[in-house]
Amino acid sequence: MKTSGSGTDRITVEEAAERTGHGREDEAARRVDASVLLDVRELDEWSAGHAPGAVHRSLTELLDGAPLPPEDRGQRLVVICRSGNRSRQAAALLTAGGVDVVDVIGGMREWAEAGLPVVDSQGLRGTVA
């Protein structure tokens, strides 16, 4: 784990997968206390491919004051985007609001390169846009 210049912790995709319970074939085997994976890319990027079970709220929406879904408020968040730039901004914003959050170095590009699961909006094999 690394700390960015903004004071927000940054983790690798492997650490993110472990914290969020991804990469396991049996979804029921995911840790009960797993962190929520929050994808902050735009809707078209999300629709093309995202991690199964991730929550979507774009950085644009967060900057406009959109709240997190009620079930995810108060949860530990792992924030991801395409390459790590937007997630770093989102993590700083959320941290300033008192949220327990880390962001993912390398984003969905590295997530996919590591062989971690990516699905599209229909739940089929997705791509990182």
The answer, yes or no, to whether residue 106 has pLDDT greater than 90, is: yes
What residues does each domain of the chain span? 2-113
User: Of 81, 99, 104, 105, which residue is the catalytic one?
Assistant: 81
Residue 8 pLDDT grade (very low, low, confident, very high; cuts 50, 70, 90) = confident
How much is the pLDDT for 2?
59
The answer, yes or no, to whether residue 86 has pLDDT greater than 90, is: yes
Phi-psi region of 53 (alpha: psi -120 to 50; beta: other; left: phi over 0): left
What are the pLDDT digits (tens) for 9-34? 999 999 999 999 985 555 554 545 68
Query: In whole numbers, what is the pLDDT of the chain averaged over residues?
Result: 90
How much is the pLDDT for 3?
56
How much is the pLDDT for 124?
96
Q: Domain 2-113 class? A: alpha beta
Chain centroid offset of residue 25 CA:
19
Mean pLDDT of 86-98: 96
Q: With beta carbons less than 8 A apart as the criterion, state whether 8 and 103 touch.
A: yes
Which residues have CB under 8 Å from 15's CB, separation 6+?
1
What are the pLDDT digits (tens) for 30-41? 545 689 999 999
The answer, yes or no, to whether residue 125 has pLDDT greater than 90, is: yes
What are the pLDDT digits (tens) for 36-72? 999 999 999 999 999 999 999 999 999 999 999 999 9
The answer, yes or no, to whether residue 119 has pLDDT greater than 60, is: yes
81 is annotated as an active-site residue: yes
User: Phi, psi (5° rounding) for residue 110?
Assistant: -70, -30
